Amino acid sequence: MKKNKIFKLTFSSFLGALSLLVSFFTFQMPFLPFLKLEISEFPIYYAVLVFETKTSMMLLFIVAFLKSFFLSNIGLIGFFIRMTLVFLIISVKFYKKSNSKNRIYFFLSIISIILFFTSKTLITYFLWASFNVVPITKLNELVLILALPVNIIKTILNFSLAIILRNKIVDYENCFKNNDLIGKLLNK
């Protein structure tokens, strides 16, 4: 039991450090210099898939705090934008509980995803835009036409990376349990 807690603490610390490290690798859009694609959220999504909700939320809070106040110039607004991921964590929790008999959790999962995109768009629209002094006429065009699709693409990209990473790690864990890890590594 104690080994499991130590492993969870160590691995979640690793995921937090990985999220902070990967946040330095961003891809700015040439046509929208204020929007950027980043893959720094995929370690948090991975924690959602592997650990329970409490661990994922703790990791999200720590990473959002460190990124917002020490690695970004946007501060509290960035913290609020990053904390909207709580809705996705809740969505995954509901999805894990859903089954063919009880579809309410599936619908709650969908509602949580809608709340995530709505809250992220509203915070971007009202707080982030006023901080960066974006003219309201340009803002109306950009938020719904471009910012929302970029957030959707970014979320799909990060979740896909987390799922791919989880599947690869589970594959190697199975080989390790069967004492066939060396054979698996040599075949690849």
User: Which CATH number belongs to the domain containing residue 90 in this structure?
Assistant: 1.10.1760.20
Q: At what angle do helices 76-83 and 53-70 cross, to 10 degrees?
A: 160
| pTM (global) more than 0.85 | no
Range of the domain at 65: 2-24+36-187
pLDDT in the model for residue 174: 60
What CA–CA distance (Å, rounded) separates 69 from 72? 6
Residue 76: CA count within 13 A, CB half-sphere: 2
Q: For position 136, what pLDDT does the model report?
A: 66
Q: Average pLDDT in the 113-122 region? A: 80
Q: What confidence score (pLDDT) does residue 67 get?
A: 86
Element holding 96 (H helix, E strand): helix 85-97
Specify the number of domains making up the chain: 1
Task: Give yes or no for a contact between 67 and 23, defined as CB atoms under 8 angstroms apart.
Answer: yes
Structural domain contains residue 59: yes
**Could you tell me if residue 29 is inside a domain?**
no
